[in-house]
Amino acid sequence: MALARNQIILIGLGVVVVIGLVVLIIFGVKQPQSELSGNLTFWGVFDNSSVIDNAIQSYKKIHPKVEISYRQLNADTYETDLINALAGENPPDILMFHNAWLPKHFNKVAPFSENQIVLKDFKSLFPTVVEQDFAPDGVIYALPLYIDTLAFFYNQDIFDNKGVALPPKNWTEFENLAPKLRALDKTGRITKPAAAIGGSNKSVNRGTDLLNLLMLQTGTKMTRDDFSAATFNSDEGLNATLFYTKFANAASPLYTWNDSLPYSLDSFASGETAMMFNYSYQLGFLKEKNPFLKFGVSPMLQPENASQAVNYANYWGLAASAKGRNRAAAQDFILFMTTNPSISQKYLKSTGKPPALRSLINSYLTDPDLGIFARQALTARSWPQVDSAAIETIFSQMVESIITGKLSADRALSEAEDKVTQLMERRIR
C-alpha cells in the first residue's frame, strides 16, 4: 500500500513538473523576437536619397530582410501629397514629419509603444521642445532628425564700416543700433535697410516665425490649456506685435523696412540689408548666392535682463504611418536613425544640420557654423498650432493689415485670434 502511495505521489509530481514547464514555455519565458522583415517605403523632403541611403545600408547590416525604398518629394507639395497618399491604398510606411504638424496630423501617424521607447528615455535623449512638439500628452508620435533655431545674422562689412565692433546681445541694443545702420533718402525712403523685420511674409523670410518668437519671449499664452481656443490677443501678445511692426512703420524712429523692398534673403545676400533673423539651413544659400559676402551669426536676441533665454525651433522628424503595413519595422528603423548617435552623426555631417540628440549637442558647441544653433536647441520652445500653414498665413495677413494702416494693431490681433480659434473649433468638430 505504501509503494502504491509513493508511485501516485511520483506520478503526481511528474505531472505538475510537466505542466509547469509547459506554462513557463508558453507564458513565462520570453521568446526571441522574430527577425524583422518586409518592404518599407520612406517619404522625405529636402534630403536626397544619398543622404538617407547611409542610414538604410547601416540598418540592413542588422536587419538584412528589411528593404527600405526612399523617395524625395517636392517641398511645395509635400504635405498635400502626403495627405492624399495616407488616405489612399499605398501610404508610405515612414514619413518626414514637421515639428508643427502633430495637432493637425496626429491621427495619421502611429504612436510608439513603451516597449519601444519610454517617455523618461525620450526626455533624456532630446531637448524640451521635442517633447512639446512630438509628445505633448506623454505619447510619443515622432522623433527628430535635427533641431534648427532662429538666430541673428549680420553683415560684417557694414558693421565694420559703421564702427560697430560687436553684434547686439538683446532687443534694446538692437533698437539702439538699427537707426545707425539704415540709410534714407531726402524723402524718407529706405535705400539701405538696417534689418529685415516688421514686414509680412511677402518680404521677410520667416517673418511670422520671428513674431511667434517675440510673443513667446514676452510670455504670451498662445492657447487655452484644453486647446479649445487661441488666447494670444493679450497685453503680452499686443506688445510683441507692436514691437515687430514698428520697424515697418514710416512714422516710427525705428523705421527700417517695408513690404515693397526686395525679399529679405536676396537683400541680405546682396549686401544691401545689414541684419536679418533666420535658420542655419540658409547658411548654404547665402554662401552660394554670394561667395564674397562677409557675414556673421550670433545668438538670437533676447529681452534685456531676461532671466531665461527663449528660442524658436523649426525642424523635421520621422514618424510611422498609422496605416503602414509593417509598423514594427518602420518604428524600429526610426529609432535606429534618430537615437543612435553614430548614425545620427553621419546624417548631420551629410546635411550640415545641427543636432537633436543631447549627447551630440555638446560636441557641436564649438562648431563655427552650427555651434550657436546647437546651443539654442536647449532653450527652444514652441506652441501647439492646429494648422501651422494656415496660421502662418493668418499672422502674415495680420502684419500686412497693420503696416498698411488697414487695421489698428489691437483690432488686427483680435481678428487673427478669432480666425485661429475658428480653425481649432473646426478641428474639434
Q: Give DSSP secondary structure letters for 323-357.
A: T-S-HHHHHHHHHHHHH-HHHHHHHHHHHTPPP-S
Torsion sign over Cα 52, 53, 58, 60: positive
Q: Do 186 and 253 lie in a common domain? A: yes
pTM reported for the whole predicted model: 0.90
Q: Do 214 and 251 lie in a common domain? A: yes
At residue 427, the pLDDT reads 77
Residue linked to cell 533676447? 302
Instruction: Assign 42 to helix, strand or coil.
Output: strand
Residue 390 lies in a domain: yes
At residue 35, the pLDDT reads 83
At residue 428, the pLDDT reads 62
Nearby residues of 156 by Cβ (< 8 Å), 6 or more positions away: 294, 295, 296
Residue 121 lies in a domain: yes
Q: What is the pLDDT of residues 362-421, one digit of tens each?
A: 999 999 999 999 999 999 999 999 999 999 999 999 999 999 999 999 999 999 999 999
At residue 429, the pLDDT reads 57
Nearest 5 degrees, angle CA 253-CA 256-CA 260? 130
The count of C-alpha atoms lying within 13 angstroms of the C-alpha of 31, restricted to the half-sphere facing its C-beta, is 7
Q: Do 97 and 161 lie in a common domain? A: no
Q: Domain range for residue 90?
A: 38-147+315-381
Residue 169 lies in a domain: yes
Q: Do 178 and 298 lie in a common domain? A: yes
Question: Could you tell me the CATH number of the domain that includes residue 212?
Answer: 3.40.190.10
What total number of domains does the chain contain?
Answer: 2
Q: Do 271 and 143 lie in a common domain? A: no
Give the β-pairing of 38-45 and 66-73: parallel
Residue 24 lies in a domain: no
Q: Do 189 and 272 lie in a common domain? A: yes
Residue linked to cell 540658409? 282
At residue 325, the pLDDT reads 86
Residue 410 lies in a domain: yes
Residue 120 lies in a domain: yes
Choose among 137, 97, 143, 98: nearest CA to 122: 143
In Å, how far are 171, 218, 364 from 308, measured between CA atoms? 14, 11, 21
Q: Do 306 and 162 lie in a common domain? A: yes
User: Which of the residues in the chain have pLDDT under 70?
Assistant: 1-34, 428-429
Q: Do 330 and 413 lie in a common domain? A: no
Residue 210 lies in a domain: yes
Are 218 and 303 in contact, with CB atoms under 8 Å apart? yes
Q: Do 182 and 244 lie in a common domain? A: yes
At residue 34, the pLDDT reads 57
Give the integer Cα–Cα distance in Å for 149 and 134. 17
What one-character-per-residue DSSP string does 347-384 give? HHHHHTPPP-SHHHHHHHTT-TTTHHHHHHGGGEE---
Q: Do 202 and 270 lie in a common domain? A: yes
In Å, how far are 129, 234, 248, 256, 369 from 293, measured between CA atoms? 33, 41, 25, 21, 15
Q: Do 135 and 261 lie in a common domain? A: no
Q: Do 187 and 240 lie in a common domain? A: yes
Residue 209 lies in a domain: yes
Instruction: Assign 200 to helix, strand or coil.
Output: coil
Q: Please report which helix (H) or strand (E) contains residue 243, including its range.
A: helix 235-245
